[in-house]
């Protein structure tokens, strides 16, 4: 929960900056700032392992700066908001996509010029209807990641179990073969082989019940 709160505050701050930006004197350097953000992102990806929230913040800043400097809700690039919300639902926790969506809607309404018609409002409210689908996609992505990790852990456990079990019993069989002198060693070989078979069957049975 703490991580979700931190990510929420970070995304809200990024959106706030992107909406306030066109009102500052820095707006005349918008293309240079966007280029700098992309250079920062690709340079950082090359030399560091980036967190997903860092990538989300960069893309959020870039997309909303582009939209807000080209007409806001009336911008021809407004459709980029849809791609951003879907990306955030996959990169971050699913609930972050809801918070991001409602933050976008609030800021678009607050910064909407006066005397705007319903045609301008419709794209803004369409973001709300997009949220459930983005949330569903995010949850499915999380389930997929958890399942992938679980399957990898099972493979690792299987490999560890089989390698240790087979290694120990092979040593016993090898020792019995090297010192083979009669029925006692033959009995030891059979015993080790039976133990290996029982352990494998027990392991397979446990895996089926998981």
From the DSSP assignment, how many helices (H) and strands (E) are in the chain?
7, 0
Phi, psi dihedral angles at 174 (to 5 degrees): -60, -40
Encode the chain (210 residues) as per-residue pLDDT tens digits: 678 888 889 999 999 999 999 888 888 888 899 999 888 888 887 877 767 888 889 989 999 999 999 888 888 898 888 888 888 877 787 778 888 888 988 898 888 877 766 677 888 888 877 777 666 666 666 666 667 766 666 666 666 666 666 666 666 666 655 565 555 655 666 666 666 666 666 665 665 555
Cα–Cα distance between 60 and 88 in angstroms, integer? Answer: 9
Cα–Cα distance between 130 and 98 in angstroms, integer? Answer: 10
Q: What is the pLDDT of residue 44?
A: 82
Residues 12 and 103 sit within 8 Å (Cβ to Cβ): yes
| pTM (2 d.p.) | 0.65
Residue 58 has which token pair?
């960069």
For residue range 25-62, list pLDDT tens digits in order: 888 888 899 999 888 888 887 877 767 888 889 989 99
Closest CA to 109 of 127, 86, 135: 127
Residues 138 and 100 sit within 8 Å (Cβ to Cβ): no
């Amino acid at each position: 929960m703490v991580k979700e709160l931190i990510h929420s505050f970070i995304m809200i701050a990024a959106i706030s900056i992107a909406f306030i930006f066109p009102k500052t004197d820095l707006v005349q350097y918008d293309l240079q700032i966007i280029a700098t953000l992309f250079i920062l992102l690709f340079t950082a990806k090359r030399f560091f392992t980036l967190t997903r929230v860092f990538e989300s913040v960069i893309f959020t800043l870039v997309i909303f700066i582009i939209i807000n400097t080209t007409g806001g809700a009336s911008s021809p690039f407004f459709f980029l908001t849809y791609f951003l919300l879907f990306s955030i639902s996959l990169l971050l926790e699913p609930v972050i996509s809801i918070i991001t969506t409602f933050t976008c809607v609030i800021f678009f309404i607050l910064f909407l010029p006066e005397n705007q018609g319903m045609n301008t409002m419709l794209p803004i409210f369409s973001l709300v209807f997009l949220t459930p689908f983005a949330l569903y996609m995010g949850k499915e992505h999380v389930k997929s990641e958890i399942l992938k990790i679980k399957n990898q852990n099972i493979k690792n456990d299987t490999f560890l179990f089989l390698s240790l079990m087979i290694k120990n019993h092979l040593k016993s069989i090898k020792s019995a073969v090297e010192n083979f002198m009669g029925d006692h060693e033959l009995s030891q070989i059979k015993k080790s082989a039976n133990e290996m078979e029982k352990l494998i069957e027990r392991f397979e049975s446990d895996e089926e019940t998981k």
